[in-house]
Structure 1
Amino acid sequence: MLYPQLFADLEKARWNMADDIPWDQFDAALLTDDQAMTIKMNAITEWSALPATEMFLRDNRDDSDFSAFMSIWFYEEQKHSLVLMEYLRRFRPELCPTEEELHAVRFEFDPAPPLETLMLHFCGEVRLTQWYRRASEWHTEPVIKQIYKTLSTDEARHGGAYLKYMKRAIERCGVEAKQAFAKIGFLMASSARSGKPLHPTNLHVNKDLYPNDTVQSRLPDPEWLERWLDEQIQFGKEWEARVVGGILRNLSSLFDVALETTGDLNRYRKQLMV
């Protein structure tokens, strides 16, 4: 089982919201209204770990090890939402999400193949690591800068945990797992082709609710993500390259094959289909 060691490793790295966030360093003059609003949107988005966890538990009933790991992932992701809300509660209480706004992102996700979903969320963690790192640089207020830096480090650890389950899947399922990971990896590394940032929170997940079946579509401002990325934190080509590079490096190690470009990954994906 992977869960016991993952629990021990993540427990050692766990931060305390009361003691490890420098609340007393808040500088109101360095927080703009636009910046504060993006914190609200990210707080609501992080709350969507709730329906994602329900999906994982439903679709992995035969895997108690991975399901147990969800207890850690769910706790830490909900803590991300909570620390962002605590920041707003202290410093911009009028922007703190309402219970109704939080509940709006809790909806059922359609069943999906567990291997594909695992890879999708691994890529999501890689991307979120870089989004939050860039957000920390963009913000000027010191407390929220530290919060985003802390969240970024958490997301990187979560990606590492998912990677361990991906390695185990290849040991158990062989080519089937490689096909699933290569397929989703190519999709998630191809944001430039799709024209939008690909992340679990902006993908359609319930055909009966379409088009209001993405987490982003259920936010108070459904258009905020693209604006945040393009105009505010300016997550440009250099940062996108870090996301793609992270996906390719990890898949190279996982598959034991050199994958330097998305083209390499696509060719490898096609080879697995023969």
Structure 2
Amino acid sequence: MLYPELFRSLERVRWSLEDDIPWDRFDGSLLSDEQALTIKYNAITEWAALPATEMFLRDNRHDSDFSAFMSIWFFEEQKHSLVLMEYLRRFRPEFVPTEAELHAVRFEFDVAPPLETLMLHFCGEIRLNHWYRRASEWHTEPVIKAIYDTISRDEARHGGAYLKYMKRAIEQSGDEARSAFAKIGVLMASARRTQQALHPTNLHVNKALFPNDTVQSRLPEPGWLERWLDEQIRFDSDWEGKVADRILHNLSLLFERKFASAQELNRYRRELTRGVPGPAAELSAAA
């Protein structure tokens, strides 16, 4: 089981809401209403870990180990929402999300293949790590800079935990897992070609509710994410390239085959689809 090891490793680096956030360094002259509003929307987006956890538990009833890990992931993701709301409660209370605004992002996700969902959320953690690093750079107020830096490191650790479950999936399911991971990897490493921000909270997840079936569509201002990325934190092509590079780097390690681009990963995906034995398949067959 991976859960006991992950619990201990994440417990060792867990930060305290009261003791590890430099609340006494707040400088109100460095926080605009525009910035406070983006903090509110990020707090609501983080609250969407609630329906995501419900989805994971429903779709992974066969996997008690991964389901147990959800207790850690859910706790830490909800703490991200909480620390952002606590910041607003202390310093801009008029921007604290209402309970109704938080509840609006709790809705049922359609059933989806667990392996593809695992890969999607692995990529989502990488992307959030980079988004929050960029947000920390954009802000000038010291406390919120520290908060975004803190939660960005959590997201990186969560990505590492998902990667361990991906390695286990390959050991158990071989090319079925490789194919699922490569399929989603091609999509998420090609984000520079799309206008849509490719993150789980911005993807359609319930056909019956379309088009109001993304987390972002249920925020008070559904279009805020693109503005935050393009005009505020300026998550440009260089930053998007860093996300793609991290995805490709991790898949290269996972599949034991070098991918320098999404196109190379897509060729590998087609090999798997056709059943052509590449280096990864040969290694699996020899094991």
Alpha-carbon distance in 1 for matches of 2:151, 2:238: 21
The amino acid that maps onto 1:23 is W
User: Is the CA contact (8 Å cut-off) linking 2:192 and 2:237 kept in structure 1?
Assistant: no
Q: Which residue of 2 is the match for residue 34 of structure 1?
A: 34
Deviations 1:82-118 (A, max 9, x none): 0000000000000000000000000000000000000
Q: Indicate the percent of aligned positions where both proteins have the same amino acid.
A: 75
TM-score with structure 1 length normalisation?
1.00
Gap runs ≥5 in structure 2: 275-287
Q: Which residue of 2 is the match for residue 84 of structure 1?
A: 84
Q: Structure 2 matches for 1:82-161, cutoff 5 A? A: 82-161=82-161
The amino acid that maps onto 1:69 is F
The amino acid that maps onto 2:173 is C
Secondary structure of the 1:157 match is helix
Q: Does 1:49 pair with 2:49?
A: yes
Q: How many angstroms does 1:237 deviate by?
A: 1.0
Q: Which residue of 1 is the match for residue 22 of structure 2?
A: 22
Alpha-carbon distance in 1 for matches of 2:216, 2:272: 33
The amino acid that maps onto 1:273 is T
Q: How many angstroms does 1:254 deviate by?
A: 0.2
Q: How many angstroms does 1:194 deviate by?
A: 2.1
Alpha-carbon distance in 1 for matches of 2:38, 2:151: 15
Q: Structure 2 matches for 1:157-236, cutoff 5 A? A: 157-236=157-236
Alpha-carbon distance in 2 for matches of 1:104, 1:115: 27
Gap runs ≥5 in structure 1: none
Alpha-carbon distance in 1 for matches of 2:126, 2:272: 24
Alpha-carbon distance in 2 for matches of 1:258, 1:252: 5
Q: How many angstroms does 1:191 deviate by?
A: 1.1
Q: How many angstroms does 1:236 deviate by?
A: 0.4
Q: Which residue of 1 is the match for residue 284 of structure 2?
A: none
The amino acid that maps onto 1:55 is M
Deviations 1:9-54 (A, max 9, x none): 0000100000000000000000011100000000000000000000
The amino acid that maps onto 1:177 is A
Q: Which residue of 2 is the match for residue 263 of structure 1?
A: 263
The amino acid that maps onto 1:43 is A
Deviations 1:153-208 (A, max 9, x none): 00000000000000000000000000000000111111122222200000000000
Would you say how many aligned residue pairs link Structure 1 and Structure 2? 274
Q: Which has the larger radius of gyration?
A: 2
Q: Structure 2 matches for 1:65-80, cutoff 5 A? A: 65-80=65-80
Alpha-carbon distance in 2 for matches of 1:192, 1:148: 24
Deviations 1:95-142 (A, max 9, x none): 000000000000000000000000000000000000000000000100
Alpha-carbon distance in 2 for matches of 1:201, 1:189: 17
Deviations 1:56-85 (A, max 9, x none): 000000100000000000000000000000
Q: Which residue of 1 is the match for residue 251 of structure 2?
A: 251
Alpha-carbon distance in 2 for matches of 1:135, 1:199: 16
Alpha-carbon distance in 2 for matches of 1:174, 1:185: 16
The amino acid that maps onto 1:223 is G
Structure 1 runs of 4+ with >3 Å offset: none
TM-score with structure 2 length normalisation?
0.95
Alpha-carbon distance in 2 for matches of 1:51, 1:146: 27
